Structure 1
């Protein structure tokens, strides 16, 4: 099968970062190779990949922006791709890419025992190499024609859901998990009166759609840098869309103060902020955009960031981090796909694997919110 394989390379990292603005795919450590089709271990099944997404964490990996302290929990070289829509015996399935205690042949750790497999304590142990599908040296991810997985990781897609919406199941589960951690789930979510989403990429826009689907009827503002993102945010239920966080804070009545040097400080702001951009500047803005005593939800994988922590204690903020999902989060995200009409607009036209340079360039330039491959043809 054809597959895009990532090979770690420090020289290529440096070259890619130096040339990235002008030549967005120059020196990236990817190779399009012909590999044997994977054979499922006993009790596993093989699935043909229909669509596979390009995640922000994939781009961060390719550009060397991930924290080296996370390196023990992944294994390379690897066929990338953890946002996977596949097919088994003619049935479409969304693939949960986690490789937790059940796959590793270990006794369930405390996290897995309570269904929190995204927090598995054996993610680097047991009978498999470290990592999950898409970050695993032995089990291919979705940027290849076939994957293997345990049957319970394959979730049938609801009838009527188009492929370009179904491929969003994994990032939708990320957003759902984060919102549940920040605002509760078991006894119904406890939302603040106002909420700001910083970053209108896939995770930010999915969070916006989910907040409305989960019943948040308050002021829900979005900071979007690109016109297409702003258009989609309005369609998905944003109250207001701003080009900059400062504009949002001015509109909600936060008071602005000028320090001796550097960006401004604020009093007042939003009851909660979803930080979905994953940059140093967006994290700093989120810290000052939440009202005193408010909540900041960090979604996804931001990588290494230098950050001023003074607003954390000065404003008595609650910080919630969320990276993957539990068993129920993924299942619920797949079910919600049937209710979230229009999400497919986030997904651009699919690229063949041979067009990977165009796909990566489109994702980096934000010409599409979500770039996807058609690895299985």
Structure 2
């Protein structure tokens, strides 16, 4: 089968880290290579990939933005792609890409024993190489024709949900897990009167759609840098959409102050802020956009950033980080796919693996919120 495989290269990593988005797509450490179709281990099944997404964390890896401190918990070379819609014997399934204790042939660690597989202590231990599907040297991710998984990691897609919406199950689970942690979870959500989402990529926009679907009826504002993102935010239920955080805070009525050095700071901001951009600038904006005693939710994966922590203690903020999901959140996210109004508008027309340069250029240029591949088995 054809696969898009990432081969790590320290010189290319350093070059991409230095040049950022100016680094040429053609020079990225990806190769279109043929591999044997994977054979499922005993008790596992093989699934044909229908669609696979390009995640911001994939771009961060390719462009040298992720933290080297996390390198022990992933393994390469690897077939990338952890946002996977697949098919098993005609049944469409969303794939939970976690490879925790059960997959690694180990007794449950404390996190897995309480159902928190996303916090598994053994992601670099056991019978498999470190990392989940898409970041694992032993098992292919979704940027290839086939994957293998335990049946418990496969979630049937509800009838009537189009493929372009179903492929969003994994990032939707990331958003749902974060909202559970920040606002009470399941059927007992306690949403604040005002919330700001900074970042209108896939995670930010799905968080917006989820908040409305779960009952947030207060002021729900979004910072969106690009016109397409802004239009999608309005269609998904944003109260107001702003080009930057300063405009949002000014409209809210927060008080602005000028320090002796650095950007303006604020008092009287939002009761809650969701940070879904993962950059140094967005993290700084988030810290000052939250009202005193407010709550901040850091969603998804950020790069390696430096940050001024003074507003954390100065405003006595509650900070909650949320990176992945557990099995329960993933299942609930799949069930919610049928209730969300049109998130498939985020998704690009599918790219063939052979056109990976065009696909990644489209992702880097933000011509679409979510770029997807359609591998051929």
Alignment map for 1:95-134 (pairs within 5 Å):
95-134=95-134
CA distance in 2, matches of 1:21, 1:176: 30
CA distance in 2, matches of 1:98, 1:120: 9
CA RMSD of aligned residues (A): 1.0
| Deviation digits for residues 94-116 of structure 1 (CA, Å, limit 9, x no counterpart) | 00000001101111111111111
Name 1:331's counterpart in structure 2.
331
Indicate whether 1:345 and 2:352 are aligned: no
Name 1:244's counterpart in structure 2.
244
- 8 Å Cα contact 2:82-2:97 kept in structure 1: yes
Q: Could you say if the C-alpha distance between residues 187 and 212 of structure 1 is closer, same or farther in structure 2, counting changes exceeding 3 Å? A: closer
CA distance in 1, matches of 2:279, 2:26: 22
Deviation at 1:26, TM superposition (A): 3.5
Where in structure 2 are there 5+ consecutive unaligned residues? none
CA distance in 2, matches of 1:301, 1:187: 26
Deviation at 1:253, TM superposition (A): 0.6
CA distance in 1, matches of 2:256, 2:339: 40
Deviation at 1:15, TM superposition (A): 3.0
Deviation at 1:212, TM superposition (A): 0.3
Deviation at 1:22, TM superposition (A): 4.3
Name 1:355's counterpart in structure 2.
355
| Deviation digits for residues 9-31 of structure 1 (CA, Å, limit 9, x no counterpart) | 11112333455544540421100
Deviation at 1:118, TM superposition (A): 0.2
Indicate whether 1:143 and 2:143 are aligned: yes
Q: Could you say if the C-alpha distance between residues 24 and 222 of structure 1 is closer, same or farther in structure 2, counting changes exceeding 3 Å? A: farther
Name 1:253's counterpart in structure 2.
253
Name 2:37's counterpart in structure 1.
37
Deviation at 1:375, TM superposition (A): 0.9
Name 2:281's counterpart in structure 1.
281
CA distance in 1, matches of 2:10, 2:220: 41
Indicate whether 1:298 and 2:322 are aligned: no
Indicate whether 1:80 and 2:80 are aligned: yes
* Structure-2-length-normalised TM-score: 0.98
Name 2:318's counterpart in structure 1.
318
Indicate whether 1:262 and 2:269 are aligned: no
Q: Could you say if the C-alpha distance between residues 140 and 200 of structure 1 is closer, same or farther in structure 2, counting changes exceeding 3 Å? A: same
Q: Could you say if the C-alpha distance between residues 186 and 88 of structure 1 is closer, same or farther in structure 2, counting changes exceeding 3 Å? A: closer
Query: Which range moves more in the overlay, 177-186 or 245-254?
Result: 177-186
CA distance in 1, matches of 2:364, 2:239: 27
CA distance in 1, matches of 2:208, 2:304: 26
CA distance in 1, matches of 2:65, 2:189: 34
- 8 Å Cα contact 2:363-2:370 kept in structure 1: yes
SS, match of residue 330 in structure 1 = helix
- 8 Å Cα contact 2:17-2:65 kept in structure 1: no
CA distance in 2, matches of 1:359, 1:295: 36
| Deviation digits for residues 323-363 of structure 1 (CA, Å, limit 9, x no counterpart) | 00011000000000011130100001110000100111111
SS, match of residue 139 in structure 2 = coil
Name 1:162's counterpart in structure 2.
162
Where in structure 1 are there 5+ consecutive unaligned residues? none
Deviation at 1:190, TM superposition (A): 1.1
Name 1:4's counterpart in structure 2.
4
| Deviation digits for residues 184-208 of structure 1 (CA, Å, limit 9, x no counterpart) | 1155111111000000000000000
- 8 Å Cα contact 2:272-2:296 kept in structure 1: yes
CA distance in 2, matches of 1:224, 1:177: 22
